[in-house]
Structure 1
Amino acid sequence: MRRASDVQRKLGTLADVHDGLRKFIAQYDAHAELLTPAFALSGTLPSAAAAGYESMAPEELDAFLADMEPDVRAADRDMREIEALEAKGVTGAGKLADYKALEPRLEALITAHEEDVELAASLEQRIAALVDRHSTHVDALSELFVAWDDLLTDTEDKVTRLERNRQERQRLGYE
């Protein structure tokens, strides 16, 4: 009991000095089910951790708390940053439990998004197949136009040669 009261007194002193930590502790119980990790609620803590601080000697506890000081200071700094964000109105402070009711909508949106992703993938495959068929048709038409152009060029060349031959015959008087 004495050790627990010493720890509580030391934590109380730290909380009195740091406003952010004091506010966090004061509001923790209201949202404990949302802030406490799942493993802590499931009762799956290892036996050494379950024994807690009772098995520590006072010197070990003092050393542990001294080692925790940077973490507590970092938590205080984080709490100040959170307060600054709350002051700006970007955190939705005090409304954490309201979001619990939105989970079914979120799950429905995630499901709909996954269905949309599958549909988009299917449409992309269909579009790719259409583009492939289109390029095949364009290639075939291009080849036909090239063949047609070659045929027309050959025909024009033959007509030009025949006209020259006819003109040459007329000049020579064979016709």
Structure 2
Amino acid sequence: MSPEEVEALLVEMEPEIRAADRDMREIEMLEQKGVTAAGKLADYEILQPRLDALLKAHQEDIRLAASLEKRIAALVERHATHVDALSELFVAWDDILNETENKVTKLDRDREERQRLGYE
């Protein structure tokens, strides 16, 4: 290649060369900070069995919570059924008491009327 061709090639490739230079400086800076190395990964790898045990225990807790949730839902449903039944019984009992009070009141009025008229 002639010197003019080399110069034209360098002028044409100048943006790529500058970008590559900038990238290399960034890589060097990251290496100085220790970002590219594994860092403390080895320290954390010894914790993997503990993490596995915790995840297993967490899954068991999730299953237990779901089971308890179902039991509680069944208890709440039974409670609601009992409350409904007791409410219906209370309303029926109230109706019976009202009818009885009305009959007693009517009988008292009838007796007072008979006494007023002298039948008793």
Q: CA deviation at 1:162?
A: 0.2
Query: What is the TM-score with the length of structure 2 in the denominator?
Result: 0.73
- Which residue of structure 1 aligns with residue 14 of structure 2? none
- Which residue of structure 2 aligns with residue 166 of structure 1? 111
Change (3 A) 1:12 1:101: farther
Q: Whole-Å Cα distance in 2 between the matches of residues 112 and 143 of structure 1? A: 46
Q: Whole-Å Cα distance in 2 between the matches of residues 12 and 96 of structure 1? A: 30
Q: How many residues align?
A: 101
- Which residue of structure 2 aligns with residue 142 of structure 1? 87
Q: CA deviation at 1:17?
A: 3.5
Q: Which runs of structure 2 are paired with 1:7-26 in the superposition (5 Å)?
A: 13-14=21-22, 17-18=25-26, 21-25=27-31
SS in 2 for 1:114: helix
5+ residue gaps, structure 2, are 1-16
- Which residue type is aligned with residue 28 of structure 2? R
1:124 equivalent among 69, 91, 102: 69
Query: What is the TM-score with the length of structure 1 in the denominator?
Result: 0.52
SS in 2 for 1:128: helix
- Which residue of structure 2 aligns with residue 100 of structure 1? 45
Q: Whole-Å Cα distance in 2 between the matches of residues 12 and 174 of structure 1? A: 125
Q: CA deviation at 1:102?
A: 1.4
Q: CA deviation at 1:99?
A: 1.3
Q: Which has the higher contact order (CA 8 A, sep 6+)?
A: 1
- Which residue of structure 1 aligns with residue 11 of structure 2? none
5+ residue gaps, structure 1, are 1-9, 32-93
Q: Whole-Å Cα distance in 1 between the matches of residues 96 and 20 of structure 2? A: 99
Q: What do the CA deviations read for 1:41-86 (whole angstroms, capped 9, x no partner)?
A: xxxxxxxxxxxxxxxxxxxxxxxxxxxxxxxxxxxxxxxxxxxxxx
SS in 2 for 1:174: coil
Percent identity between matched residues is 62
Q: CA deviation at 1:24?
A: 2.8
Q: CA deviation at 1:15?
A: 5.4
